[in-house]
């Protein structure tokens, strides 16, 4: 009798595992490249995530325009390029692609340079902003440098690949 229970238990393991697997949702992708995933870049802080109601804690009055555009979640992490150039990556998950487009359009100025990242991307000397589907990504360097634009574009591609 004991052997019968043992056989049933052994047979049940793959069944339970299978059930568990089918019951799991696909894990949400982490958009933030790990250290060295993009040449020269290191992730230098933990990722912080803010629900819309808490977004003010991060960006104060700026939060209102994202809430009006339907932000669902905001995540942010700091990065360093070759130990010198500091940058921050903000990933805004919007309710729909139109929300991401609204924010991108609002920040556009005449000196913005269009680059090929995601669905649409704008680059300045110290920042890259792009949208891809429901995501709006803003990458900002805190210092100016000859290599900042190139490095930021590479990091933007790294983030895009994870979305």
Interface residues with other proteins (CB under 8 A) are 56, 59-65, 86, 88, 107, 109, 111-112, 124-127, 140-144
Provide the minimum distance between the beta carbon of 54 and other proteins in the complex, in angstroms, as a whole number.
9
C-beta closer to other proteins: residue 20 or 146: 146
Q: What share of the chain is helix, strand, coil (3-state, %, to 5)?
A: 40, 30, 35
Distance spanning both ends of the chain, measured CA to CA:
53
C-beta closer to other proteins: residue 142 or 161: 142
Provide the minimum distance between the beta carbon of 78 and other proteins in the complex, in angstroms, as a whole number.
9
C-alpha closest to that of 74 among 91, 95, 57 = 91
Query: What span, in angstroms and rounded, lies between the C-alpha atoms of 1 and 147?
Result: 73
Torsion 33-56-125-134 (CA) sign: positive
Provide the minimum distance between the beta carbon of 36 and other proteins in the complex, in angstroms, as a whole number.
23
Torsion 65-68-69-70 (CA) sign: positive
C-beta closer to other proteins: residue 19 or 143: 143
C-beta closer to other proteins: residue 40 or 58: 58
Provide the minimum distance between the beta carbon of 101 and other proteins in the complex, in angstroms, as a whole number.
17
Query: What span, in angstroms and rounded, lies between the C-alpha atoms of 79 and 120?
Result: 23
Provide the minimum distance between the beta carbon of 158 and other proteins in the complex, in angstroms, as a whole number.
20
C-beta closer to other proteins: residue 134 or 139: 139
Torsion 105-132-128-53 (CA) sign: positive
């Amino acid at each position: 009798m004991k052997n019968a229970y043992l056989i049933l238990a052994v047979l049940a393991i793959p069944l339970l595992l299978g059930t568990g697997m089918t019951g799991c949702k696909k894990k949400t992708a982490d958009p933030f490249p790990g250290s060295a995933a993009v040449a020269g870049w290191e992730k230098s802080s933990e990722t912080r995530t803010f629900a819309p109601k808490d977004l003010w804690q991060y960006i104060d009055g700026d939060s209102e325009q994202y809430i009006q555009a339907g932000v669902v979640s905001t995540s942010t992490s700091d990065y360093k390029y070759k130990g010198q150039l500091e940058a921050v990556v903000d990933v805004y998950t919007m309710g729909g692609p139109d929300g991401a487009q609204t924010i991108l359009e609002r920040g556009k100025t005449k000196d913005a340079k269009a680059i090929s990242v995601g669905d649409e991307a704008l680059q300045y000397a110290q920042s890259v902003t792009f949208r891809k589907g429901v995501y709006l990504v803003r990458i900002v360097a805190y210092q100016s440098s000859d290599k900042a634009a190139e490095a930021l574009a590479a990091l933007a591609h790294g983030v895009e690949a994870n979305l």
